[in-house]
Structure 1
Amino acid sequence: MGRVSQAQAEENRRRVVETASKLFREQGTQVSVADLMKAAGMTHGGFYKQFASKEALIGEATAHAFGELGRLHGAGFAQHGGTRETAQQALIDGYLSPEHRDNVAEGCPTAALAVDMARGLGDEDAHRVYTEGVSDFAGRLATEDQDGIARLCTMVGALVLARATKGSPLSEDILAAAHAAVTGAG
């Protein structure tokens, strides 16, 4: 079999990072390299041609996930005419929704990767990228009176608990209570 072109190698790498970003959010970073490469439609051996280690991939996949989150937040800001308060309200509404709760693979990396980051999975770069992503997200939730950290903690905690109790009325109650708490309605 011949060598792949540089363009094809870049496309393969992009596909692996994108697939890992979704799988890590959905299943955690313990997903095996073999399963990850199968999901990306590639061979296990191809992984080490693209990445120095799985830990390095965790960093890239985390950066990809936070990049998606940042683009989504930026689009929401633009969609709402640059009005911060309206964009924040739409962000909160979407974040604390059953749809977001149920879409783990494409959902918030803050909630999905928190436990893995706390356990030290990934490399230093992954931890740095995660920390910067969390800080940026808190900044998007900031108000004139608050830095956004309390809102972020409430939202992320609620999402994790709502996912853990999915299928029960408690899950919906958690989302509603957190929504009321971060918007001051209730």
Structure 2
Amino acid sequence: MDITINISNDELSASDKNLIKECLGLNTAAELNKALTNLTKAAFMEYMKMLKEKGLPTRADEVQQERLFFLLTHYFQNRLPSENELSSIFQLTQSQSKTLLRNTKSRYRTKISNFIKNTLFVTLNSATQENPGDSYEFVCTSPTTVEELNLIISQKGPTLEPIQKIRGLASKYSCAVDTYNLLKQELS
């Protein structure tokens, strides 16, 4: 089923579009159009669930979690957002975004397990080794992603060294070779 909606310039002005592009980290009108299409679908699906099931959740945090679930499914498509992205979209602090992401993962874990796995896989694949035998290093702006990787390590390789932040660098992490190999095996 194709559904078309029309938005006037009064409803979405040029300055509104620029603000949305900035908030979502977009550069072009085409990126904005695709993002708005995906956001519209997420909102539509949220309303359909409300109409078909028992209405809206009653607690504000549950409403945010449900909204994030629909954004994961229809906007972020195949990955978990960083806390920074959530802060921009939901107008939350970093701490609130981290809590929202953590609670949403907990509540919808089975439904978003592929998004989690894809995010971890992409993060791990970005790791590089300066010399053979050295630890792998990677940049990750989402502490929650690093927590997920360390959770796998604690469950599947409890005697291995966890991923550690590199001292003095904002978002760069170190991963021992045996830990990296375990994670590659688990995420493949």
TM-score by length of 2: 0.27
User: Which is bigger in relative contact order (C-alpha 8 A, separation at least 6)?
Assistant: 1
Q: Which of the pair is proportionally richer in helix? A: 1
Q: Which has the larger radius of gyration?
A: 2
